[in-house]
Amino acid sequence: METLAGFLIALAIGMTGVGAGSITAPILILFFNEPAPEAVTIALVFGTVVKLVATPIYLSRGQVNFRVLGYLALGGLPAVLAGSLLLNSMAKASLNQPVLIIVGVTVVLAATATLWRSMQTKVEAKPIALKWLPWIVAPIGLEVGFSSAGAGALGTVALMRFTSLLPAEVVGTDLAFGLMLSVVGGGIHASMTGVPWPILTKLLIGGVPAVLIGTQLATVLSPRKMRLALCVWLIYIGSQLSYRALQQPNAPAPVKVTRVR
């Protein structure tokens, strides 16, 4: 099942650039019962490997805008570093519920925003001065470091809304941006908490060939319809995550032990 999940997630990433964190972490939590902090680590490392395969293909097609990517990195990399360190500085025992809520809400918001943009017959971009782009994507980087979700969906929306990139350039540039965030965030999480290799290996067995297929399908099929279906499903998944988090009882307060002298 993990291999099949990795295949489907990577197929979506290769075609649309969306899914490394928005799909992987929720699936690991809901269907494979992984604790939320561990799911974030797996999603970031999985996203790194899959995007390492997909990004060079878009690079070879000239579909990565390096000038825009530089501004994205300027805001996103320091923020993903901060988000990753914040998550790893908190007590793991009390993290499951807040991370579930954050991942769930982020997935719902990102999917809703992407769905709204994708349903428009004509997306009217309103380019801004690139110097403002780092400030716009910094919250995305922070969110990726803390929950792994948002780089693909929110990054795509930001590029469609605030730049004049062509659709293929949006996917390619956002994949490269997501790769940067995954490398930094995944590296920090892996170094501090380790990587659950058994489940990650199964995901990658399905994911590596699937992302290659997805990048080829993107040249002959319009990713718009797939993105629409994907967003509807993500809204449902994100809602389920948030509901599960709200149903969980709060972690009990630690008992203070008084030493008798």
- The pLDDT value recorded for residue 17 is 78
Give the whole-angstrom CA distance, residue 42 versus residue 46: 6
- The answer to whether 217 and 57 are in contact (CB under 8 A) is no
pLDDT band at 124 (very low <50, low <70, confident <90, very high): low
Residue 261 resides in a domain: no
Give me the mean pLDDT over the 151-170 stretch. 84
Question: What is the residue range of 64's domain?
Answer: 2-244
Is the separation of the CB atoms in 171 and 63 below 8 Å?
yes
pLDDT at position 177, please? Answer: 95
Specify the pTM: 0.82
Question: Is 254 within the bounds of a domain?
Answer: no
Whether 173 is in a domain gets the answer: yes
**Structural domain count of the chain:** 1
Which of 95-104, 116-125, 195-204, 241-250 is least confident?
Answer: 116-125
CB atoms within 10 A of CB 241: 26
Question: Could you tell me if residue 255 is inside a domain?
Answer: no
Question: Longest Cα pair distance anywhere in the chain, in angstroms?
Answer: 77
Q: Is-contact 173 64, C-beta < 8 A?
A: yes
Do the domain assignments include residue 225? yes
What confidence tens digit (pLDDT) does each residue in 162-185 have? Answer: 888 888 898 899 999 999 999 999
Which uninterrupted H or E stretch holds 109?
Answer: helix 96-119
Q: What tokens appear for 99 in the block?
A: 């991370």
171 located within any domain: yes
Asked whether residue 237 is assigned to any structural domain, the reply reads yes
